[in-house]
Amino acid sequence: MGLRLAVATEDFGQTLRQAIRLAAQNPVQGLRLNARSEVRASEFTDTGLRQLRHFIGEHQMQVAGLYYPSRHSLADPQSLDQRLDGIRAAMGLMRRLGTTDLLLRVGRIPDPTKQVVEESEDAPNNEDVDSLRNPFSFAPSLSSSLTRQPSEAEQFRQLVEILNDLAAEANRDGVVLQLILSGYDVKPLKALLSEVTAGPIAVVFDSATSVMTGRSPVAVFREWYQRVGYVRLRDARKDVDGGGIEVPLGEGTVDWTELPAVLTEAESRAWVCIERTGGDSRAEDVIRAIRILKETLPGL
Protein backbone atom coordinates (compact mmCIF):
# COMPACT_ATOMS: atom_id res chain seq x y z
CA MET A 1 0.00 0.00 0.00
CA GLY A 2 1.47 3.36 -1.03
CA LEU A 3 1.65 6.47 1.10
CA ARG A 4 -1.12 9.07 0.82
CA LEU A 5 1.01 12.15 0.37
CA ALA A 6 -0.19 15.64 1.22
CA VAL A 7 1.30 19.11 1.49
CA ALA A 8 0.33 22.12 3.58
CA THR A 9 -0.95 24.92 1.36
CA GLU A 10 0.41 27.58 3.74
CA ASP A 11 3.97 26.44 2.95
CA PHE A 12 3.64 27.82 -0.59
CA GLY A 13 3.33 31.41 0.60
CA GLN A 14 0.58 32.24 -1.91
CA THR A 15 -3.15 32.84 -1.89
CA LEU A 16 -5.12 29.66 -1.29
CA ARG A 17 -6.13 29.25 -4.94
CA GLN A 18 -2.57 29.83 -6.12
CA ALA A 19 -1.23 27.39 -3.55
CA ILE A 20 -3.67 24.73 -4.75
CA ARG A 21 -2.49 25.20 -8.33
CA LEU A 22 1.16 24.95 -7.28
CA ALA A 23 0.56 21.86 -5.15
CA ALA A 24 -1.22 20.17 -8.06
CA GLN A 25 1.99 20.30 -10.09
CA ASN A 26 3.45 17.71 -7.71
CA PRO A 27 2.60 14.01 -7.17
CA VAL A 28 0.49 14.52 -4.04
CA GLN A 29 -3.08 13.50 -3.32
CA GLY A 30 -4.05 15.83 -0.50
CA LEU A 31 -3.89 19.36 0.89
CA ARG A 32 -3.71 20.21 4.56
CA LEU A 33 -5.52 23.51 5.16
CA ASN A 34 -5.19 26.06 7.96
CA ALA A 35 -8.38 26.88 9.87
CA ARG A 36 -7.14 30.27 11.05
CA SER A 37 -5.22 31.77 8.15
CA GLU A 38 -6.89 30.14 5.12
CA VAL A 39 -10.33 28.70 5.86
CA ARG A 40 -11.90 30.76 8.63
CA ALA A 41 -15.35 29.60 9.66
CA SER A 42 -16.54 33.19 9.98
CA GLU A 43 -15.59 34.01 6.39
CA PHE A 44 -16.73 30.95 4.42
CA THR A 45 -20.34 30.33 3.48
CA ASP A 46 -21.67 26.90 2.51
CA THR A 47 -21.38 27.95 -1.10
CA GLY A 48 -17.79 29.07 -0.61
CA LEU A 49 -16.85 25.76 0.98
CA ARG A 50 -18.47 23.79 -1.85
CA GLN A 51 -16.59 25.86 -4.40
CA LEU A 52 -13.30 25.34 -2.57
CA ARG A 53 -13.81 21.59 -2.35
CA HIS A 54 -14.78 21.46 -6.02
CA PHE A 55 -11.71 23.50 -7.02
CA ILE A 56 -9.44 21.12 -5.10
CA GLY A 57 -11.16 18.13 -6.73
CA GLU A 58 -10.68 19.64 -10.18
CA HIS A 59 -6.95 19.51 -9.47
CA GLN A 60 -7.15 15.79 -8.64
CA MET A 61 -6.67 16.27 -4.89
CA GLN A 62 -8.73 16.26 -1.71
CA VAL A 63 -8.59 17.97 1.66
CA ALA A 64 -6.12 16.09 3.86
CA GLY A 65 -7.01 17.51 7.23
CA LEU A 66 -7.65 20.90 8.80
CA TYR A 67 -5.11 22.39 11.21
CA TYR A 68 -6.21 24.69 14.02
CA PRO A 69 -2.95 26.34 15.15
CA SER A 70 -2.76 28.17 18.46
CA ARG A 71 -0.11 30.25 20.17
CA HIS A 72 -0.61 28.36 23.42
CA SER A 73 -1.10 24.68 24.14
CA LEU A 74 -4.62 23.31 24.19
CA ALA A 75 -5.31 23.50 27.93
CA ASP A 76 -3.38 26.71 28.64
CA PRO A 77 -5.73 28.94 30.67
CA GLN A 78 -4.78 32.03 28.65
CA SER A 79 -7.53 32.65 26.05
CA LEU A 80 -8.89 29.15 26.69
CA ASP A 81 -12.55 29.93 25.93
CA GLN A 82 -11.64 31.73 22.72
CA ARG A 83 -9.44 28.82 21.67
CA LEU A 84 -12.16 26.24 22.30
CA ASP A 85 -14.73 28.32 20.43
CA GLY A 86 -12.35 28.46 17.46
CA ILE A 87 -11.84 24.69 17.54
CA ARG A 88 -15.58 24.06 17.62
CA ALA A 89 -16.07 26.42 14.69
CA ALA A 90 -13.41 24.50 12.76
CA MET A 91 -15.26 21.25 13.49
CA GLY A 92 -18.27 22.69 11.72
CA LEU A 93 -16.26 22.97 8.50
CA MET A 94 -14.98 19.42 8.36
CA ARG A 95 -17.86 17.56 6.76
CA ARG A 96 -18.33 20.25 4.10
CA LEU A 97 -14.63 20.07 3.25
CA GLY A 98 -14.77 16.29 2.97
CA THR A 99 -12.21 15.54 5.67
CA THR A 100 -12.26 13.99 9.12
CA ASP A 101 -8.84 14.97 10.54
CA LEU A 102 -8.69 18.03 12.80
CA LEU A 103 -5.14 18.74 13.96
CA LEU A 104 -4.81 20.38 17.39
CA ARG A 105 -1.69 21.61 19.17
CA VAL A 106 -1.75 19.93 22.58
CA GLY A 107 1.84 20.61 23.62
CA ARG A 108 3.47 18.87 26.55
CA ILE A 109 1.32 16.40 28.47
CA PRO A 110 1.50 17.09 32.23
CA ASP A 111 2.62 14.26 34.51
CA PRO A 112 -0.58 12.75 35.99
CA THR A 113 1.33 11.41 39.01
CA LYS A 114 2.92 14.70 40.11
CA GLN A 115 0.66 16.05 42.85
CA VAL A 116 3.03 18.61 44.38
CA VAL A 117 3.48 22.09 42.93
CA GLU A 118 7.17 22.79 42.46
CA GLU A 119 8.26 26.27 43.48
CA SER A 120 11.26 28.02 42.00
CA GLU A 121 14.37 27.68 44.15
CA ASP A 122 15.22 31.31 43.41
CA ALA A 123 11.88 32.71 44.49
CA PRO A 124 12.11 34.73 47.74
CA ASN A 125 9.84 33.98 50.63
CA ASN A 126 8.88 35.69 53.86
CA GLU A 127 11.73 34.01 55.71
CA ASP A 128 14.26 35.55 53.32
CA VAL A 129 12.86 39.09 53.37
CA ASP A 130 11.48 41.04 56.28
CA SER A 131 8.45 42.36 54.44
CA LEU A 132 7.05 44.02 57.55
CA ARG A 133 10.12 46.23 58.01
CA ASN A 134 10.86 46.80 54.32
CA PRO A 135 7.76 47.63 52.26
CA PHE A 136 9.81 47.51 49.03
CA SER A 137 10.98 43.94 49.49
CA PHE A 138 9.98 41.19 47.06
CA ALA A 139 8.46 38.75 49.49
CA PRO A 140 5.29 37.10 48.21
CA SER A 141 2.12 38.98 48.94
CA LEU A 142 -0.88 37.46 50.65
CA SER A 143 -2.89 37.57 47.43
CA SER A 144 -0.22 35.73 45.45
CA SER A 145 0.01 33.01 48.09
CA LEU A 146 -3.70 32.41 47.72
CA THR A 147 -3.54 31.96 43.94
CA ARG A 148 -1.70 28.65 43.96
CA GLN A 149 -0.64 27.25 40.60
CA PRO A 150 -2.23 23.89 39.78
CA SER A 151 -0.09 20.79 40.10
CA GLU A 152 0.79 18.76 37.02
CA ALA A 153 -1.76 16.15 38.07
CA GLU A 154 -4.44 18.85 38.17
CA GLN A 155 -3.32 20.18 34.80
CA PHE A 156 -3.53 16.64 33.43
CA ARG A 157 -7.10 16.26 34.70
CA GLN A 158 -8.07 19.52 33.05
CA LEU A 159 -6.54 18.44 29.75
CA VAL A 160 -8.44 15.14 29.91
CA GLU A 161 -11.69 16.99 30.62
CA ILE A 162 -11.18 19.40 27.71
CA LEU A 163 -10.30 16.60 25.29
CA ASN A 164 -13.25 14.47 26.34
CA ASP A 165 -15.61 17.41 25.79
CA LEU A 166 -14.11 18.11 22.35
CA ALA A 167 -13.96 14.42 21.42
CA ALA A 168 -17.66 13.97 22.23
CA GLU A 169 -18.56 16.86 19.92
CA ALA A 170 -16.15 15.62 17.27
CA ASN A 171 -17.71 12.17 17.41
CA ARG A 172 -21.13 13.60 16.58
CA ASP A 173 -19.65 15.36 13.55
CA GLY A 174 -17.61 12.40 12.32
CA VAL A 175 -14.34 14.16 13.19
CA VAL A 176 -11.14 12.63 14.58
CA LEU A 177 -9.00 14.81 16.82
CA GLN A 178 -5.35 14.51 15.81
CA LEU A 179 -3.10 15.54 18.69
CA ILE A 180 0.11 17.43 17.92
CA LEU A 181 2.46 16.82 20.83
CA SER A 182 5.76 18.31 21.97
CA GLY A 183 7.13 14.86 22.80
CA TYR A 184 6.26 11.17 23.00
CA ASP A 185 6.90 10.29 26.65
CA VAL A 186 5.35 6.89 27.14
CA LYS A 187 3.66 7.11 30.55
CA PRO A 188 1.80 10.44 30.26
CA LEU A 189 0.78 9.78 26.66
CA LYS A 190 -0.54 6.30 27.47
CA ALA A 191 -2.43 7.74 30.43
CA LEU A 192 -3.96 10.46 28.26
CA LEU A 193 -5.03 8.08 25.50
CA SER A 194 -6.58 5.71 28.02
CA GLU A 195 -8.66 8.43 29.68
CA VAL A 196 -10.02 10.25 26.66
CA THR A 197 -12.86 7.92 25.77
CA ALA A 198 -15.72 10.20 24.67
CA GLY A 199 -14.75 10.11 21.02
CA PRO A 200 -11.98 9.20 18.60
CA ILE A 201 -8.55 10.73 19.10
CA ALA A 202 -5.23 9.89 17.49
CA VAL A 203 -1.57 10.89 17.70
CA VAL A 204 0.18 13.03 15.12
CA PHE A 205 3.60 11.52 14.43
CA ASP A 206 6.19 14.21 13.65
CA SER A 207 9.66 13.09 12.60
CA ALA A 208 11.18 16.48 13.49
CA THR A 209 9.71 16.45 17.00
CA SER A 210 11.21 13.02 17.51
CA VAL A 211 14.68 14.28 16.61
CA MET A 212 14.39 17.47 18.66
CA THR A 213 13.44 15.48 21.77
CA GLY A 214 16.38 13.12 21.32
CA ARG A 215 14.46 10.15 19.93
CA SER A 216 14.80 8.07 16.78
CA PRO A 217 11.85 8.83 14.46
CA VAL A 218 11.70 5.20 13.36
CA ALA A 219 11.64 3.99 16.96
CA VAL A 220 8.93 6.50 17.92
CA PHE A 221 6.74 5.54 14.99
CA ARG A 222 7.09 1.83 15.70
CA GLU A 223 6.20 2.45 19.34
CA TRP A 224 3.02 4.40 18.58
CA TYR A 225 1.98 3.41 15.05
CA GLN A 226 -1.26 1.79 16.22
CA ARG A 227 -2.40 5.15 17.61
CA VAL A 228 -0.95 7.34 14.86
CA GLY A 229 -3.66 8.96 12.77
CA TYR A 230 -1.62 11.58 10.94
CA VAL A 231 2.03 11.95 9.91
CA ARG A 232 4.02 15.15 9.54
CA LEU A 233 7.26 14.65 7.64
CA ARG A 234 9.83 17.24 8.64
CA ASP A 235 13.57 17.06 9.14
CA ALA A 236 15.56 18.41 12.09
CA ARG A 237 18.83 18.21 13.91
CA LYS A 238 19.83 18.64 17.53
CA ASP A 239 21.70 21.79 18.40
CA VAL A 240 24.56 22.29 20.83
CA ASP A 241 22.45 23.38 23.81
CA GLY A 242 20.31 20.25 23.77
CA GLY A 243 17.37 21.68 21.83
CA GLY A 244 16.71 21.24 18.15
CA ILE A 245 15.97 23.05 14.95
CA GLU A 246 13.89 22.19 11.90
CA VAL A 247 15.84 22.12 8.63
CA PRO A 248 15.02 21.32 4.99
CA LEU A 249 14.35 17.63 4.40
CA GLY A 250 17.62 15.83 3.76
CA GLU A 251 19.75 18.25 5.80
CA GLY A 252 18.92 16.87 9.24
CA THR A 253 19.36 13.57 10.99
CA VAL A 254 16.17 11.78 9.92
CA ASP A 255 16.99 8.65 7.92
CA TRP A 256 15.03 9.25 4.69
CA THR A 257 15.80 5.77 3.43
CA GLU A 258 14.49 3.88 6.45
CA LEU A 259 11.57 6.04 7.65
CA PRO A 260 9.51 6.10 4.40
CA ALA A 261 9.96 2.33 4.12
CA VAL A 262 8.73 1.84 7.70
CA LEU A 263 5.71 4.09 7.03
CA THR A 264 4.87 2.06 3.95
CA GLU A 265 5.25 -1.27 5.76
CA ALA A 266 2.78 -0.13 8.42
CA GLU A 267 0.04 -0.07 5.75
CA SER A 268 -1.59 2.86 7.47
CA ARG A 269 -4.17 4.99 5.70
CA ALA A 270 -3.07 8.05 7.63
CA TRP A 271 -2.19 11.10 5.58
CA VAL A 272 1.55 11.75 5.28
CA CYS A 273 1.98 15.52 5.06
CA ILE A 274 5.30 16.97 3.92
CA GLU A 275 5.82 20.25 5.76
CA ARG A 276 8.34 23.05 6.17
CA THR A 277 7.35 25.41 8.96
CA GLY A 278 10.33 27.77 8.80
CA GLY A 279 13.03 29.12 6.53
CA ASP A 280 13.09 31.56 3.64
CA SER A 281 12.25 29.06 0.86
CA ARG A 282 9.50 26.89 2.26
CA ALA A 283 7.82 26.13 -1.08
CA GLU A 284 11.10 25.12 -2.72
CA ASP A 285 12.00 22.99 0.30
CA VAL A 286 8.66 21.15 0.14
CA ILE A 287 8.99 20.46 -3.59
CA ARG A 288 12.55 19.20 -3.08
CA ALA A 289 11.32 16.97 -0.23
CA ILE A 290 8.74 15.39 -2.53
CA ARG A 291 11.49 14.66 -5.04
CA ILE A 292 13.64 13.03 -2.34
CA LEU A 293 10.76 10.78 -1.29
CA LYS A 294 10.07 9.85 -4.91
CA GLU A 295 13.69 8.79 -5.27
CA THR A 296 13.47 6.76 -2.05
CA LEU A 297 10.19 5.09 -3.02
CA PRO A 298 10.07 4.96 -6.85
CA GLY A 299 6.51 3.64 -6.83
CA LEU A 300 5.19 6.59 -4.87
Check pLDDT > 70 for residue 25: yes
Model confidence band, residue 239 (pLDDT cutoffs 50, 70, 90): confident
Percent of the chain with pLDDT over 70: 88
Check pLDDT > 50 for residue 126: no
Range of the domain at 47: 4-112+149-296
Domain-embedded: residue 82? yes
Question: Which residues are CB-contacts of 162 (< 8 A; sequence separation ≥ 6)?
Answer: 74, 75, 84
| One-letter amino acid of 153 | A
- The structural domain count of the chain equals 1
Query: In terms of Cα–Cα distance, which of 175, 222, 231 is closest to 203?
Result: 231
Mean pLDDT of 99-112: 96
Question: Which residues are CB-contacts of 259 (< 8 A; sequence separation ≥ 6)?
Answer: 207, 217, 218, 221, 233
Domain-embedded: residue 142? no
Domain-embedded: residue 64? yes
Q: 222: domain CATH number?
A: 3.20.20.150
Domain-embedded: residue 24? yes
Range scoring the smallest mean pLDDT among 44-58, 141-155, 177-191: 141-155
Hey, which residues does 4 pair with through a beta bridge?
271
Domain-embedded: residue 134? no
Check pLDDT > 50 for residue 43: yes
Hey, which residues does 247 pair with through a beta bridge?
235
In order, the DSSP letters of 141-198 are: PHHHHHSPPPPHHHHHHHHHHHHHHHHHHHHHTT-EEEEEES---HHHHHHHHHH--S
Check pLDDT > 70 for residue 121: no
pTM score: 0.88
Mean pLDDT of 76-100: 96
Model confidence band, residue 139 (pLDDT cutoffs 50, 70, 90): low
Residue pair 24/59 in contact by the 8 Å Cβ criterion? yes
Domain-embedded: residue 129? no
Domain-embedded: residue 136? no
Domain-embedded: residue 257? yes
